Amino acid sequence: MHLARVTGAVVSTQKSPSLNGKKLLLVRRVSADDDRPILPRAAMKWR
pLDDT tens digits along 14-43: 888 988 888 999 999 887 776 677 788 988
Q: How many domains does the chain have?
A: 1
Enclosing domain of residue 25: 4-13+20-45
44, pLDDT greater than 80: yes
Q: What pLDDT, on the 0 to 100 scale, is given for residue 27?
A: 93
Mean pLDDT over 5-11 rounds to 91
Residues 7-35, buried b or exposed e (16+ Cβ, 10 A)? eeeeeeeeeeeeeeeeeebebeeeeeeee
Sign of CA dihedral 40, 10, 15, 2: positive
State yes or no: pLDDT of 8 exceeds 90: yes
